[in-house]
Structure 1
Amino acid sequence: MKTRPLLERIDRDWRTRRPDLDPTPMRRLILLARTARAAAERIEAGQGRHGLNSAQADLLLTLYRSAPPEGLTPGQLTGLSAISPSSVTNRLDRLAAEGLIKRLPDPADARVRRVQLAEAGRQRVEQLLPDHLAGERALLSALTEAEQAELEQLLLRLLDRLEAGAD
């Protein structure tokens, strides 16, 4: 079921079942979750056209934009990306197997490995990046620039509160 009719049905059902309760917060969070999921699916489809899944693309993009010449440790890479720490090692293994990244020993600490973007990885990112940004721009094009800026500020305010642990 499409989201708009689903939300109308949820609202109607709750108001019938429990007219004393306001289901608006539930409806809005369902809308937020469905919007995020739909956007993520579109973004991942674009990345798939470049032979990458969302996690792989995020790691490569993070290395491209944030890594110093000596690379990043896996922990640093995790902190700078949108990937959960539990999936980073597996993703790095796959990227290394494809020749898109290199793992090198840290010159200051032999126990630490650094992750660098391989030349093939850099080329893949440079092919992906224009399409990726164009796809994201298209996703947001239903809103004006001012609306996009307002949405960003509202989401940041909500996320700041959630990350602070406030109710």
Structure 2
Amino acid sequence: MAQEPLDVVDAITGQWRSERPDLDTLPMAVFGRIYRIARLMGDRMEKEYQRYGIGRGEFDVLATLRRAGEPYTLSPRQLSAALMLTTGGMTGRLDKLERAGLLDRVPDPDDRRGLRVSLTEKGLRVIDQAVGAGLALQKATLDAVEPAQAEQLADLLRLLLAASAEPGARR
């Protein structure tokens, strides 16, 4: 009697083993699960951020400013580079966040042609709440494994991330 698959990835790899027994489906099992976890958690995080009036893209901008430390200010170029966005894509996000009162754009005192983007007090409150809520959601999910297993998983994924990057690419 055939064993029932444990999850959808087991079902997929089982089908491939049946159809193509010559293939090693372990990589498919690993990366299929990584992909599915990223999609599922990404969707859950997006819903969590919506409670704070922001989406994932806006979260990324606010979080990048917050991580920069006081005075929570960067140039649009620095933000674009950190988030790997075009300047046009960044402008749309900044416009939306400025309209929401979460950041300000002011002239750069060191460059007459430049701007500086800064978190407002409201933006600081929103990102601090959103990052805390997102981490709580991630922690609740990660509680499915023991703390030592979570550390080991983080280490193994770091190795896979390094192995996945193109030579010279930023990870």
**Partner in structure 2 of residue 112 of structure 1:** 114
**Partner in structure 2 of residue 145 of structure 1:** 147
1:125 corresponds, among 118, 124, 127, to 127
**Partner in structure 1 of residue 43 of structure 2:** 41
**Partner in structure 2 of residue 85 of structure 1:** 85
1:8 corresponds, among 2, 7, 10, to 10
Unmatched tracts of structure 1, length 5 or more: none
Which residue identity lines up with residue 132 of structure 1 in the other structure?
G
Which residue identity lines up with residue 152 of structure 2 in the other structure?
E
- Aligned residue runs from structure 1 range 61-80, under 5 A: 61-69=63-71, 71-80=73-82
Confirm or deny: 8 A CA contact 1:67 1:116 kept in the other structure. Answer: no
Q: SS of 2:118's equivalent?
A: strand
Residues matched between the structures, number: 162
1:114–1:144 Cα change, 3 Å: same
**Partner in structure 1 of residue 98 of structure 2:** 96
1:79–1:141 Cα change, 3 Å: farther
**Partner in structure 1 of residue 25 of structure 2:** 23
Q: SS of 1:125's equivalent?
A: helix
TM-score by length of 2: 0.83
Which residue identity lines up with residue 112 of structure 1 in the other structure?
G
Answer yes or no: is 1:54 the counterpart of 2:52.
no
Q: Distance in 1 between matches of 2:77 and 2:103?
A: 16
Which residue identity lines up with residue 53 of structure 1 in the other structure?
G
Q: What's the CA shift for 1:74?
A: 1.7
Which residue identity lines up with residue 21 of structure 1 in the other structure?
L
**1:32-91 residue CA offsets vs partner (Å, 9 max, x unmatched):** 1001111111111111111111111121122122144271012222344xx441332221
**1:83-104 residue CA offsets vs partner (Å, 9 max, x unmatched):** 4413322211110111110011
1:92–1:22 Cα change, 3 Å: same
Q: Distance in 2 between matches of 1:112 and 1:68?
A: 20
Moved beyond 3 Å, runs of 4+:
none
TM-score by length of 1: 0.85
